[in-house]
A and B are shown apart, each in its own frame.
Chain A
């Protein structure tokens, strides 16, 4: 189905093009021709801009209620260990593995092979998979999605959680600086296990970009800025399971 923006934008573009052509051929008037070109550009920009189906407040309430559910689940399970964000091979999805009992008897790859199930158990290792609040990183046409910076920026800005983000990778750690924080949750268990909401989304973006497991090491708030330290893990690591 053709949406409102696309229909209006294309109509404006066609009108602008005809108006400009008519002004040039019939009237020979440069400002009117330019106005036609301007309308064509405006219409094209309008057509390729997707509509926002949900107001920001509604999106925020969805995200918060999702975090509340995760908080309740983590409370019920008595989880306190930091989650490991595992990229899932299909569709840029990331799952969070929350260890409940660590025995080091499974690799992170073995844990990742069980994403889709709720509980993971191997030997003495026990954990659960949680679907973290996320934006679709596989969304159509994000700006140069191969770069870590732009994917982070895309994930945080599109979900209206923050206005921008920058990342620096040094060996097996990534430092992400997030500016213009707009949305967060105050659930203590969620923050202890999954990190703050912006850190959680940033960790997912980094895990999806690097295709490696990622864990939040620490976070530092300074004014409207949040600095998140992430550790990039190996698939063969057993220390986190």
Chain B
């Protein structure tokens, strides 16, 4: 199996596993799922280093969403009454 097929297979397995595990733990916060996806995506990309035909749009999108989630959490802690 070549590097790209391994990368896509690993990504699919890890996303499925993350959703199953978090659902089994009755996790109801969507931001936890998205943070896990971000972690999985960047880990898989760093390990398999797949070739890209365009700039890595999913990485930009995930990073932006992750930054938004973290900012919200930080603001929540700072301005908690």
A41-B53 in contact given A30-B27, A46-B8 (Cβ < 8 Å)? no
Confirm or deny: A104 has a beta carbon within 8 angstroms of a beta carbon on chain B. no
CB distance from B18 to the nearest CB of A (A): 7
How many chain-A residues does the 8 Å CB contact rule pick out? 26
A31-B51 CB under 8 A given contacts A41-B15, A48-B57, A48-B58: no
- Cβ < 8 Å to B, chain A residues 26-51: 30-31, 33-35, 37-39, 41-42, 44-46, 48-51
A34: contacting residue among B2, B30, B56, B57, CB under 8 A: B30
When distances are taken between beta carbons in the complex, the residues of chain B under 8 Å from A37 are: 30, 33-34, 37
Whether a CB of chain B sits under 8 angstroms from the CB of A220 is: no
A-B contact pairs, 27 of them (CB 8 A): A30-B33, A31-B19, A31-B22, A31-B23, A33-B30, A34-B22, A37-B33, A37-B34, A38-B18, A41-B41, A41-B62, A42-B15, A45-B41, A45-B50, A46-B8, A48-B56, A49-B4, A49-B51, A49-B53, A50-B4, A50-B51, A51-B4, A55-B2, A141-B53, A141-B54, A143-B52, A157-B49
CB of B11 closer than 8 Å to a CB of A: yes
A42 vs B62: C-alpha distance in the bound complex, in angstroms? 12
Complex: A50 Cα to B52 Cα, angstroms: 6
| Cβ of B1 to closest chain A Cβ, rounded Å | 10
Q: Write the chain B residue with the least CB distance to A6.
A: B53
Return chain B residues, CB-CB under 8 Å to A31. 19, 22-23, 27, 33
* Neighbouring B residues of A30 by C-beta, 8 Å: 27-30, 33
Contacts of B62 in A (CB 8 A): 41
Residues of A within 8 A of B37 (CB): 34, 37-38, 41
Chain B interface residue count, CB cutoff 8 Å, equals: 32
Q: Are B33 and A140 in contact (CB under 8 A)?
A: no
Q: Could you mark each residue 17-41 of chain B with 1 if its beta carbon is under 8 Å from any beta carbon of chain A, else 0? A: 0110011000111100110010001
Contact (Cβ within 8 A) A38 B51 = no
Minimum CB–CB distance from B44 to chain A (whole Å) comes to 8
**Which positions 36-71 of chain B face chain A at CB distance < 8 Å?**
37, 41, 49-58, 61-62
What residue in chain A is nearest B18 (Cβ atoms)? Answer: A38
12 new A-B contacts, CB < 8 A, other than A38-B33, A48-B52, A49-B8, are A31-B33, A34-B22, A34-B30, A34-B33, A42-B15, A44-B58, A45-B8, A45-B11, A49-B50, A50-B51, A141-B55, A157-B49
